[in-house]
Chains A and B, each alone.
Chain A
């Protein structure tokens, strides 16, 4: 499997709801404590408007890692689990994402080559844009597809 440069992938639009923001807040201590239960945090700029305003923001904003994870999820949908195994992902959060702003997760293949190990390496531009086309997260990804016969397949 490989895709030609210029091939573009998009996920359906998703509103960045208050709940989606809070899920990323609640997962942080849940992961650290790892006892099979959900652990909430003290107020953050991602789930408490009053606290966010005290920090100079107009209201809660999304953690950038939500858009990073949506991009990773798109890559796994396209390439399979190998997209989470070998490669890279860089995302930069260039604009705040506010409550109920709709995001579309996108990726476009920029180049394809075979590296020294025989992997087919796809380089992609990745980004999230809102429903006006304004980009809020931008970056690049590399996905290594193992060669035939590799034990990583």
Chain B
């Protein structure tokens, strides 16, 4: 178990969180603005929902919570986003997010880390998004061995 250290130390079986937060109008509008998503469902006043892609930043929220020492010596590279959406995320909802490192392995000299993240509505524990995130721990092959 590598909770409490660097992100680069995370290993299979490590559990991050849960962490709770409220999805705010500001977060939805700014995130969508940063990604040029100007649709009324994201930028409007009524019936505002969050883009499900925001779950990617829940990974960083969990890293911050579980790995206070920081990212480690190398920049991670995100290589795959894989999310199943079960229901829309309404602005103002309290959410609960939890992550589990399900695999860490070496392929062609690079270290891969796969993390499953569940995003749930805090009030009734309904699963809203099941997300699988894949990163490599360094761009340069063999960098993590040095």
Contacts and interface: CB of A to CB of B under 8 A. Distances in A.
Given A31-B54, A69-B37, A56 B64 contact: no
A87 B82 CA distance: 11
Given A72-B37, A88-B84, A32 B61 contact: yes
Interface string B74-96: 11011111111111100000000
A116 B77 CA distance: 38
A55 B137 CA distance: 11
Interface residues of B, number: 44
Interface residues of A, number: 42
A24 B80 contact: no
Contacts of A84: 41-42, 49-52, 85, 88
Interface string B11-47: 0000000000100101100110111110101100001
Contacts, number: 126
Contacts of B78: 63-65, 93
A92 B80 contact: yes
Contacts of A36: 26
A91 to B, nearest CB: 5
22 contacts: A32-B61, A36-B26, A55-B75, A55-B138, A56-B143, A64-B78, A66-B35, A69-B37, A69-B51, A70-B35, A72-B51, A72-B53, A77-B39, A81-B41, A84-B85, A87-B84, A88-B83, A89-B53, A89-B85, A90-B81, A92-B80, A92-B81
B80 A91 contact: yes
Nearest to A144: B85
Interface of B: 21, 24, 26-27, 30-31, 33-37, 39, 41-42, 47, 49-54, 56-57, 60-61, 64, 74-75, 77-88, 138-140, 143
A27 B28 CA distance: 10
B37 A73 contact: yes
A9 interface: no
